[in-house]
């Protein structure tokens, strides 16, 4: 009987074992804001121009092979400023699953897809993973790394108008309860 096994990790996705293929959500032109996970993937794995030439539409995925493992780019929105939906995530997951079946991929590392900037609920996304991979024996590690700047009392952000990095002082614990509660307000995990 096939089953999907999902394990959660608080490490950075780039600490995933080399035996695991990687996947993350992107927008269709593969543009990424500096400092985002998509930007980090572009720096590490490159080939962004090749991905753009493929003109992958929303709800599909693009795949690169890097050092004997696959890197899946799940296209969950049309532009950087769109929000992805659960339907987009599910369609992209199905596209990835088909490629995984064709190539015998049984180990996957993902971030909490759509749960950062797009504010999807992780439990619903996790349910989609269970649904999409219900007939497959797949081991998935779901990473939800908290960047170091969220652990401190300050947060580094890029100003949308001037594009300079600015440091913002987080509210004191007496106002927000704790730094962790402030983090949960900004992201649904």
Average pLDDT rounded to a whole number, residues 123-141: 95
- pLDDT tens digits, one per residue of 38-75: 888 888 888 888 888 889 889 999 999 998 899 999 99
- Which of these is catalytic: 12, 82, 107, 118? 118
Distance CA 109, CA 94 (A): 16
77 carries an active-site annotation: yes
- Which of these is catalytic: 5, 47, 77, 186? 77
| Secondary structure of residue 154 in the 3-state scheme | strand
Q: 150 pLDDT exceeds 60? A: no
What is the pLDDT confidence band of residue 32, given thresholds at 50, 70 and 90? confident
What is the pLDDT confidence band of residue 82, given thresholds at 50, 70 and 90? confident
- φ, ψ for residue 130, nearest 5 deg: -60, -40
Distance CA 62, CA 184 (A): 31
What is the pLDDT confidence band of residue 33, given thresholds at 50, 70 and 90? confident
Prediction pTM value: 0.75
Q: 142 pLDDT exceeds 80? A: yes
Distance CA 5, CA 28 (A): 29
pLDDT for position 103: 97
Indicate the CATH number for domain 4-145.
3.40.220.10
- pLDDT tens digits, one per residue of 104-121: 999 999 999 988 888 899
- φ, ψ for residue 14, nearest 5 deg: -75, 0
Within 8 A by CB and 6+ apart from 187, the residues are 115, 116, 119
Cite the residue boundaries of each domain of the chain with CATH code 3.40.220.10.
4-145
N-term to C-term CA, the chain: 31
- φ, ψ for residue 63, nearest 5 deg: -135, 135
130 carries an active-site annotation: no
């Amino acid at each position: 009987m096939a089953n999907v096994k999902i394990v959660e990790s608080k490490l950075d996705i780039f600490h995933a074992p080399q035996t695991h293929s990687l996947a993350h959500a992107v927008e269709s032109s593969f543009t990424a804001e500096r400092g985002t996970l998509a930007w980090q993937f572009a720096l590490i794995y490159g080939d962004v121009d090749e991905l753009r030439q493929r003109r992958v539409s929303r709800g599909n995925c693009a795949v690169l092979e890097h050092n004997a493992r696959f890197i899946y780019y799940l296209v969950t929105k049309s532009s950087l400023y769109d929000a992805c939906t659960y339907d987009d995530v599910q369609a992209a997951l199905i596209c990835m699953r088909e490629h995984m079946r064709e190539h015998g991929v049984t180990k996957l590392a993902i971030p909490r897809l759509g749960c950062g900037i797009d504010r999807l609920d992780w439990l619903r996304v996790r349910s989609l993973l269970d649904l999409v991979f219900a007939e497959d024996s797949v081991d998935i590690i779901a990473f939800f790394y908290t960047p170091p700047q969220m652990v401190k009392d300050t947060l580094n952000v890029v100003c949308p108008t001037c594009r300079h990095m600015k440091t913002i002082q987080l509210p004191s614990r007496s106002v927000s309860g704790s730094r962790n509660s402030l983090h949960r307000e900004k992201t649904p995990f």
